[in-house]
Structure 1
């Protein structure tokens, strides 16, 4: 155990994990390089079967912090976070996700405002995706869709729980993370409740947490569907579901419906395909506008070394949006029956579903 050069703070670092042995190894290595080490790390395993749980039980910290590991098979991320925070013994909670990468100053900058100001209740953390970390062409396509793939947090930002700090008493006041959500969006709901409850919040604008991305289009689609399924369950972002969904539906259906209606007008009604033509024109116009909007993404893709495959940009846009919208409305319908508590908490806090 090495303790001579380490600096410690009365902070509990919490995280969850499921079947990510290599991510766990990287997590402990990164946390033990931090310029400020937490006095406690609490990890909740959701039922790993790849050796992660055995690794956690056997792990011997290289620094002088208390390591707490717990397991609950089948628990979702929100439940795992709540279990970890319940076991935490310090007032300041720093939350992250196994599977990220972290700068050595990440924890110090996130915890420092709370350590220095007793009236402060939360700190929104920044994160980013680094181009050099991207594993595959589809990850580079996603990267090109953003001018900068990062959240540079302000006091009003909706920080992900991969990079956020708050006082345990605030977590208690909010009622914890919403466990009735199936898998995703619990951290967005938590951030919405947080901002509706307190204004004693700060932000750390420098990204020191680095988010890793999938390698295949199929995994991107699954991620989009999962995340928006959670948003639908919570009944947030209705504007996105209606406006983006409505435009995409019209855009996709205008072509086949326009051709069908046009054929009926010509063959059966013996007239010019006026209605069918208008539908086709709507499809052409919406598709052209989408491609025009995506031109900047294509330019960034080429500037950053992407060659050929221009079709990947619109395909990625269509595929992930369709998956997101399908997930959103499935989640919204399911949430009517099983996510009443989460929805009620948001409404009582004054959070609009729109």
Structure 2
């Protein structure tokens, strides 16, 4: 990535953030995390109470990048074919036709994903990892960009299924939107006649431009000392006495990918340790499993990761030669 390209990337990123922010008020950091996940070609998990704007975020992202949007309401009776699609025999034509499921969209909102059975949840594993769906031994790509935004309600757990670790590991970032601040709440209430703030959002870039930005972000320089820092953080999560399972290599790779996008969004052609520290919690915390004693004691993954970050010495930041 050249300095000119990084400047264009940062300016475009800010435009996208501003456009999505017209629908999701007062949540710039969350919007930046969501766009980081999209440009790192990953997926987002939102654990939040109802009515905080999760659907608006998904629709605003799709509208901003001129992409398609679909919503899947996960329920106990949802079948895998309801997600991926199904092959139906056409008696007139005498052939089997594939009818695409809602997963064939640029931004897919998997609402309350933990309410569906594990079998239905697993229908998303292949498409989240490989951006393709295999039905009746035929693989079909879902295109670029492709992003799953899954939601979970942290309050009501009756009738839910815990997401398996393999599926949690496929979400690049986990965060929450939370309630807006006082001023943003007043602005939302003053426009109560407008039921959907995403309807009037115009596209700021094309889906092709998003794919180009993703390819460009992948070229951001990451110094070996920063990679060593990421590796030491991942190793520390595995060796911590309060964790039963630490961060995998996939998790460490996810942190590097996100850090590259974040650096480019700041107009830099290189990653610094502060990028890693800022993104460590949303990228790594949900990949850690605490041991039984720590859970009973009320310890959280966030607390353990914070302690690890404080104890792991970052490398001295330096600007590489142009």
Greater helix proportion? 1
* TM-score between both structures, scaled by the size of structure 2: 0.27
* TM-score between both structures, scaled by the size of structure 1: 0.25
For the pair shown, the structure with the greater C-alpha radius of gyration is: 1
